[in-house]
């Protein structure tokens, strides 16, 4: 049996790993110059620059089945957050796992915050057995905002904590993302650690790729079209050549899957501009900094070298900051606006511009109800299967689960 996978992102690599374990002859065709798709890390002057701010939850169930956490040398973020409003700074210790400790000056109703968070934890835990993925969380058609209000959280807590914190996870400050995604990520944070591999997020796909036989991944080889025989898909056309296979699995991002296979995929996307600075002076350490003001330029910022010192050359510091609404600005404007804001957040620190990543397509948009409309891994066309986050949910776990399922169903 010979299978061709289009795309060497986490979905394609996980799919290839599982098929290889089943002794299937597998080839992966990747358009770009490296493995990982949206999960890659660049090295520049001794700094490790993830292509966008990304975190790995150690509790991710599908990811745990395929990744060796020890060898990834995972480094954990400090729990909680530092909430910034201009020069005002409030520290939340661990609102998710230890709600009672989350006392902070900005929560005028701090006493009820703990109780409501416990209520939320209990209700998330009640659906936990099924929640191996976003799809496993019971059917709900509400937004995160409505879910938080229904749980009884006050305006102050939603605005000062949930909006910037989950705005950074969903890349959407409106909190219009499905409450299923919120409940799943909340349970992941409660059950495990929030981490990155010591040498960058790109270590995750590299570890998956290392399971595959030498020569089975073809980089810089975009698949141009599918080969068909009657109603059946029988291979791919890439680099002008025809490559025959018993089955083809499309593990690209959603728009490319629609173009190649005519798959009906979710529409819309959320994106970010990720800005890197070398920093000197004191920041928020291993805790994430959140921009809680309505007009905040950065939604969140993290001193990556405080999480893993391998992100910066010895004795130096790397700051990663995320703007959700900055695509229209020039690089110079982005750096300047960013430094003005970070200097308010950290008056005793200096910032030197390093790099900007503009990533318009980070995740497909996940409004309430979207997960019930996603395509199946099996298609009606013999010889054609789909993998990729757009068949599951938009996350490291969702993409890996999609690859695993496609391999099991092939």
Q: Does 256 interact with ligand FAD (rule: CB under 6 A)?
A: yes
Nearer to ligand FAD, 41 or 397 (CB): 397
Q: Does 222 bind ligand FAD (CB under 6 A)?
A: yes
Residue 321 within binding range of ligand FAD, rule CB under 6 A = no
Q: Is 52 in the site for ligand FAD (CB under 6 A)?
A: yes
Strand, helix or coil at 31?
coil
Phi/psi of residue 358, each to 5°?
A: -100, 115
301 forms bridges with which residues in the sheet? Answer: 289, 321
Enumerate long-range contacts of 96-104, CB under 8 Å, 24 or more apart. Answer: 96/186, 96/189, 96/190, 97/189, 97/190
Could you please report the per-residue DSSP string of 346-365?
-TT-EEEEEEEEEEEEEEE-
C-alpha gyration radius of the chain: 21
Nearest CA among 362, 372, 363 for reference residue 394: 363
CA atoms within 13 A on the CB side of 279: 29
CB nearer to ligand FAD: give 3 or 106.
3
Please report how close the Cβ of residue 173 comes to ligand FAD at its closest, in angstroms.
Answer: 15
Q: Does 10 bind ligand FAD (CB under 6 A)?
A: yes
Q: Does 187 bind ligand FAD (CB under 6 A)?
A: no
* Beta carbon of residue 227, minimum distance to ligand FAD (angstroms, whole number): 14
**What's the closest the beta carbon of residue 132 comes to ligand FAD, in angstroms?**
14
Q: Which of 6/292 has CB closer to ligand FAD?
A: 6
Contact segment (CB under 6 A) with ligand FAD among 101-109, 251-259, 275-283, 340-348 equals 251-259
Under rule CB under 6 A, residue 394 binds ligand FAD: yes
For the chain, report the end-to-end CA distance as a whole number of angstroms.
10
DSSP tag of 285:
T
Q: How many CB atoms lie within 10 A of CB 390?
A: 30
Asked if 359 interacts with ligand FAD (CB under 6 A), we say: yes
**Nearest to ligand FAD of 104, 221 (CB atom):** 221
Residues in touch with ligand FAD (CB under 6 A): 6-12, 29-32, 37-39, 52, 54-55, 222-223, 251-253, 256, 260, 272, 359, 362-363, 388-389, 394-397, 399
């Amino acid at each position: 049996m010979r299978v061709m996978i289009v795309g060497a992102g986490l979905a394609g690599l996980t799919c290839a790993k599982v098929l290889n374990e089943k002794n299937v002859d597998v080839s992966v065709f990747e358009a770009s110059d490296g493995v990982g798709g949206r999960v890659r890390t660049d090295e520049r002057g001794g700094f490790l620059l993830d292509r966008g701010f990304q975190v790995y939850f150690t509790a991710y169930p599908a990811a745990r089945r395929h990744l060796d956490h020890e060898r990834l040398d995972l480094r954990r973020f400090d729990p909680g957050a530092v909430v910034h409003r201009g020069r005002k700074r409030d520290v939340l210790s661990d609102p998710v796992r230890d709600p009672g400790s989350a006392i902070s000056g900005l929560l005028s109703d701090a006493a009820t915050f703990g109780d409501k968070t416990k209520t939320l934890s209990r209700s998330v835990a009640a659906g936990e057995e099924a929640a191996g993925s976003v799809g496993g969380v019971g059917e709900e058609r509400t937004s995160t905002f409505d879910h938080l209000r229904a749980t009884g959280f006050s305006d102050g807590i939603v605005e000062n904590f949930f909006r910037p914190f989950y705005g950074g996870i969903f890349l959407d400050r409106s909190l219009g993302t499905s409450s299923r995604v919120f409940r799943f990520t909340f349970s992941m944070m409660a059950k495990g650690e929030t981490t990155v591999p010591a040498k960058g997020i790109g270590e995750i796909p590299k570890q998956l790729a290392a399971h595959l036989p030498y020569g089975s991944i073809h980089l810089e080889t975009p698949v141009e079209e599918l080969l068909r025989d009657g109603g059946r898909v029988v291979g791919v056309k890439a680099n002008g050549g025809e490559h025959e296979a018993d089955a083809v699995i499309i593990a690209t991002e959603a728009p490319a899957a629609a173009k190649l296979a005519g798959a009906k995929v979710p529409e819309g996307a959320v994106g970010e501009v990720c800005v890197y600075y070398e920093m000197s002076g004191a920041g928020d350490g291993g805790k994430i900094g959140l921009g809680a003001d309505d007009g905040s330029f950065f939604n969140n910022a993290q001193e990556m070298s405080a999480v893993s010192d391998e992100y910066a050359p010895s004795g130096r510091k790397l700051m990663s900051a995320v703007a959700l609404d900055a695509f229209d600005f020039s690089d110079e404007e982005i750096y300047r606006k960013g430094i003005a804001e970070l200097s308010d957040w950290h008056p005793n620190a200096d910032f030197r511009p390093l790099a900007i990543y503009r990533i318009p397509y980070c995740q497909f948009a996940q409004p309430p109800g979207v997960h019930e409309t996603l395509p199946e891994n099996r298609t009606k066309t013999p010889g054609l299967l789909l993998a990729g986050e757009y068949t599951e949910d938009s996350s490291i776990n969702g993409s890996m689960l999609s690859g695993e399922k496609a391999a099991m169903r092939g």
